[in-house]
Amino acid sequence: MFKYIAPFALFAVLTYLPEVTGLSQAVAYPVKTILVGALIIILWKTFRPEIRPFWDWTAVAAGVAVFLLWIGLDGLYPQLGTPKGFDPYTLSETDFETYILIAFRMAGAVLVVPVMEEIFWRSFALRVLIDSDFKKIPLGQYSFFSFIAVSIAFGFVHHQWLPGIIAGMIYAGVLYRTGNLFSPIISHAVTNLLLGLYVLWSQEWFYW
């Protein structure tokens, strides 16, 4: 159980590093990305049987749909708190530093966060709410209670809670379809990639 929680827990703890230590986001986010990514690699043997790479167009389409909902619903519902955003231009002093921060932010959002969150939410949480001995539950087994509870919880850890809940439902649906954690990871990565590109284009940093 610990191995499924550890990357998510480490990410959560490191998210508050700037507030606790006064460390700049320009340092804190790259550190968080590197440490969480390294932990996933260290624990990879545990997760590898559940993540079987294959090309899934449905997962890609689901990721695009979540992105469109995330942007399209903005302003139509009350958000949780005020997102601080991540503006690499105000966090850096030179163009080179800006590009490095953008690279880390994109790498974290596309390569680290989808793996870390899908391991926690769709592999661990969806199953542990069915049975505390979650490993005996087949990956992608449907339960109405776990589906609703995890989707709502997933939504409420985001400022944009409404599209977050819908995203949780869509990513779970993708997993139910294939029984392969690779599918929601792809969906999540596509969403984050498109959102990152949109943020860089629009400079609406609150999405980050």
pLDDT in tens, 51-103: 999 999 999 999 999 999 999 999 899 988 777 789 999 998 899 999 999 99
pLDDT in tens, 122-155: 999 999 999 999 999 999 999 999 999 999 999 9
Rg (C-alpha) for the chain, rounded Å, is: 17
Which tops the pLDDT comparison, 85 or 108?
108
- List the one residue out of 133, 142, 192, 198 whose CA is nearest residue 164: 192
Which tops the pLDDT comparison, 131 or 23?
131
Q: What is the mean pLDDT of residues 26-41?
A: 96
pLDDT band at 23 (very low <50, low <70, confident <90, very high): confident
Q: What is the mean pLDDT of residues 173-191?
A: 98
Average pLDDT, the chain: 95
- The per-residue pLDDT for 3 is 97
> Three-state SS across the chain?
CHHHHHHHHHHHHHHCHHHHHCCCHHHHHHHHHHHHHHHHHHCHHHHHHHCCCCCCHHHHHHHHHHHHHHHHCCCCCCCCCCCCCCCHHHHCCCHHHHHHHHHHHHHHHHHHHHHHHHHHHHHHHHHHCCCCCHHHCCCCCCCHHHHHHHHHHHHHCCCCHHHHHHHHHHHHHHHHHHCCCHHHHHHHHHHHHHHHHHHHHHCCHHHC
pTM: 0.94
- The per-residue pLDDT for 29 is 94
Length in residues, the chain: 208
Token pair listed for 121: 């939410």
